[in-house]
A and B are shown apart, each in its own frame.
Chain A
Amino acid sequence: MVSKHELTRIDEWLWEVPMGFRADMRVPARVYADEAILDAALLDRSVEQLINTACLPGVVRFVLAMPDIHQGYGPPIGGVAAMSTTDGVISPGAVGYDINCGVRLLRSNLEASQIRPRLGEIMDVLNNGLPSGVGRGGDVRLSEKDMDRVLELGAQWAVAMGYGEPEDVDKTEERGAMPMASAGAVSSRARKRGTDQLGTLGAGNHFVEIGEVSELYDERAAESLGLYPGQVVVWIHSGSRGLGHQVCTDYVQSLQASVYRYGIHLPDRELVCAPVDSPEGKSYMAAMACAANYAWANRQLLTHRVRELLRQVLAAQFPHAAFSLVYDIAHNIAKLEEHQVGKNRVRVVVHRKGATRSLGPGDARLPASYRQIGQPVLVPGDMGTGSYLLLGTNEAAERSFSSSCHGAGRVMSRSAATRARRGQEVQRTLAEKGIEIRGPWKGLAEEAPEAYKDIDRVVDVVHKAGLARKVCRLVPLGVLKG
């Protein structure tokens, strides 16, 4: 375990484990946190996991943890690590099993006061109409040919098939399809798991949430995003389902032998990796991109279904109800990017595990409508508290490889949460606060608000450290847990 006195405080929001702390570290390990967040992180193995990540070959500058840091496997959740494409590695374990687990936010033309009286009914319609839960299949069964298209074209395939609007693609990171995807890199087992899971929510912390914009911190930016106080919004949080889990499983296993071949010494076998430029590294990158594309297609199909269900239930009262995509971001992914390392611009693979991209204004990768303001950074909180929309900053390029936090981060294990309160009780307490929740009882207990860190605190660190800036806070009205 790492002790606090072994960390150097770089500024109010940044702490560093220096390179000499462990002989196998190749770069320092940095944590964005306030004092309380850091103290909590030091209680488990998350900082040690970050130090392990700092030992990977070709890692540049520093490895980072965002303030939603908590213990995972391999790197901590909230971890960011950039590896040089010339002498660095790509690691499936540093991306995780739910490849391109991510979140999207839709804005509506409705006010919370208009739908509040019917919230219970709306949540029941979503609960009955959206495939969710463990191993649950959906309405779409992909042929082999369609699977290839999903893997290579992602959300673009979904929109071309009528599951959404062309503007949805513009408002999705990577336009919903990573170009290096190659369907041949995905095993038949992964394909089999993905055949009937497109358009399904999954389980665990995946959710659909009806929310309300509650507070603005930057009115002009909010206006550019089409957001205003009292407005109804919809969050969708899901990933690449069984297909992505299998892609990671396949490569974590097959690369176990590769590390010996390449003479790579690992502090943790879950950080298994291969040189970015090796056949194994390229193959994983191609397969990971496919799984990421599957996840974008999945969130697109979920969006389509959510729109259908909401329009249906609201048709009589609000015949013109509309739900437009604000943005969609990935928070478990590895991406080829260019960053400043010393005096040089260097091509790196940025691994973000429970962390998001945070591009500042002017970046050509942003849709034209957001190029002036920066990338929306979506930070969902727990189901009883609140969430944030932030905007990426140019300072984040230097400070965090253009990365920000992805959520609140857990403070309580799932079993501790289940022991503390029953799902029925969580539902009742939230209903007293006016929040309607639906989902399996065990899942509701595991996801109780007290199992998570204080989102306001986490976002404050990100904002004050300049990794992203606050635009608005949103609160939940109804949540469907997978």
Chain B
Amino acid sequence: MIPTYHELEHRADMSLRVFGDDLRALFANAARAMFEQLADLSMANPSTRRDIDVGGIDLESLLVNWLNELLYLHEVQREVYSRFVVTELTIRHMRAAVYGQPVTQAHLLIKAATFHGLHIEKDCQGYGTTIVFDV
């Protein structure tokens, strides 16, 4: 299977290069990539479902809002999410169902997904973007 993301070098924070065949896949892969930094998801067995509804002023702000919404839920619900089903996505709005399970202690504290250098790019392969997280 072709990897959906890889980590780029960043001195202080964390930078992930994420890919997706289409925008929905890109958003889902970005979320999965983020949670793989927080916990070992290889044996994940989701027991809860959360419905997400976020907006933005463009695709980039929507992506940041989506990831930060998940970080918020992760912290207040003490859960990690491993499966992401984007059910609706326009330039300014998205809905998704995310599936996760309780976590006692994550590996890493991600403070936020940032806008730093953020551009969603499209080429013949699909979509790609580089996201810098404050850790």
Contacts and interface: CB of A to CB of B under 8 A. Distances in A.
A268 B116 CA distance: 6
A193 B72 contact: yes
Given A253-B61, A272-B115, A70 B109 contact: no
Nearest to B10: A413
Nearest to B60: A269
A193 B76 contact: yes
A77 B13 CA distance: 11
A72 interface: yes
A246 interface: yes
Interface stretch (B21-29, B41-49, B81-89, B100-108): B100-108
Contacts of B13: 71-73
Contacts of A93: 114-115
Given A96-B134, A189-B72, A414-B135, A202 B115 contact: no
B111 A98 contact: yes
Interface in B98-135: 105-109, 111-112, 114-118, 132, 134-135
Given A70-B12, A193-B75, A248 B112 contact: yes
- Among A73, A193, A272, A440, chain B packs the most CB atoms within 10 A around the CB of A73
A136 B68 contact: no
B106 A253 contact: no
A73 B75 contact: no
B57 interface: yes
A442 B40 CA distance: 13
B111 A136 contact: no
Contacts, number: 109
Contacts of B134: 73, 96-98, 245
B105 A134 contact: yes
A322 interface: no
Interface string A220-251: 00000000000000000000001001101100
A73 B114 contact: yes
A98 B13 CA distance: 13
B111 A74 contact: no
A72 B111 contact: no
B7 to A, nearest CB: 6
B61 A134 contact: no
B64 interface: yes
B50 to A, nearest CB: 14
B109 A203 contact: yes
A412 B68 contact: no
Given A253-B64, A269-B118, A135 B78 contact: yes
A246 B72 contact: yes
Contacts of A202: 109
A204 B134 CA distance: 10
A143 interface: no
A73 B14 contact: no
Given A71-B12, A73-B132, A253-B68, A270 B109 contact: no
B107 A268 contact: no
Contact of B109 (A135, A246, A260, A272): A135
Given A97-B111, A253-B61, A269-B115, A136 B105 contact: yes
Contacts of A256: 56-57, 61, 115
A408 to B, nearest CB: 12
Contact of A74 (B11, B74, B78, B116): B116
A128 interface: no
B57 A71 contact: no
Contacts of A246: 72
A10 to B, nearest CB: 25
B51 interface: no
B109 A204 contact: yes
A133 B105 contact: yes
A252 B11 contact: no
Contact of A253 (B38, B65, B105, B132): B65
Given A248-B112, A269-B60, A442 B65 contact: no
Given A96-B134, A256-B115, 12 more contacts: A73-B114, A135-B105, A189-B72, A193-B75, A204-B109, A249-B68, A252-B64, A269-B116, A270-B118, A272-B115, A413-B9, A415-B9
24 contacts: A71-B12, A71-B13, A74-B116, A96-B134, A98-B111, A98-B134, A134-B106, A136-B105, A193-B76, A203-B108, A245-B111, A248-B111, A252-B112, A252-B115, A253-B68, A256-B61, A256-B115, A257-B57, A260-B57, A410-B12, A414-B14, A414-B135, A440-B105, A442-B107
